[in-house]
Amino acid sequence: MPKRILVTGLGGAPGFDLARSLQRLGCKVLAADSNPHAPGLLLPEVTPHILPPVTDAAYRAEMLRLCAKARPDAVLSTVERELPRLLGLRRPLADLGVTTWLPSREAATACGDKARFATVLTEHATQSSPWTPRT
């Protein structure tokens, strides 16, 4: 039985490419986006779903409803703004049997703030970051 993977953010290249790669690996892709015109929702052999925007109060309930109904094996998000919300859904999703691969809350916060992200890269780099002025 192929794995059923819910991929969010099919309006952009990362989500579109991830969905295609998962299909090539033999997975069944459930595609979700808040934009009903997202190009990835039209990919052949995906099951499209519309979710409210991550900033909408209904996002949490709708994501859990979708997962309870569609029963994906895993959720993979390609939308950085979704990461903090999905971190808050980790336990309810696990209770539904849905696997998530999510960063720590600190990493998700850093990814959502370009200045913070540059600082983190610089702090952990063994060489100069491209954002560090050369002296």
26, 2 contact by CB (below 8 A): yes
DSSP state of 27: P
**Together in a domain, 98 and 108:** no
Q: pLDDT in tens for each of the 135 residues of the chain?
A: 899 999 999 999 999 999 999 999 999 999 999 999 999 999 999 999 999 999 999 999 999 999 999 999 999 999 888 999 999 999 999 999 999 988 888 888 887 788 888 888 888 764 555 555 555
Q: What is the pLDDT of residue 21?
A: 96
Among 18, 125, 1, CA closest to 77:
18
What is the predicted pLDDT for the residue at 105?
86
One domain for residues 9 and 27: yes
pLDDT of residue 61: 97
- Amino acid 134: pLDDT: 53
Return the pLDDT at 51: 97
Tokens of 73: 């094996």
- Pair (31, 84) in one structural domain: yes
**CA dist., res. 102 & res. 72, Å (int):** 16
The reported pLDDT for the residue numbered 126 is 44
Pairing of strands 74-77, 47-50: unpaired
SS3 content of the chain, % helix, strand, coil (to 5): 45, 15, 40
- Does one domain contain both 8 and 59? yes
Per-residue burial over 34-48, b = 16 or more CB atoms within 10 Å of its CB, e = otherwise? beeebebbebeebeb
Q: Considering its fold, how many domains does the chain have in total?
A: 2
- Full residue range of the structural domain in which residue 121 is found: 104-135
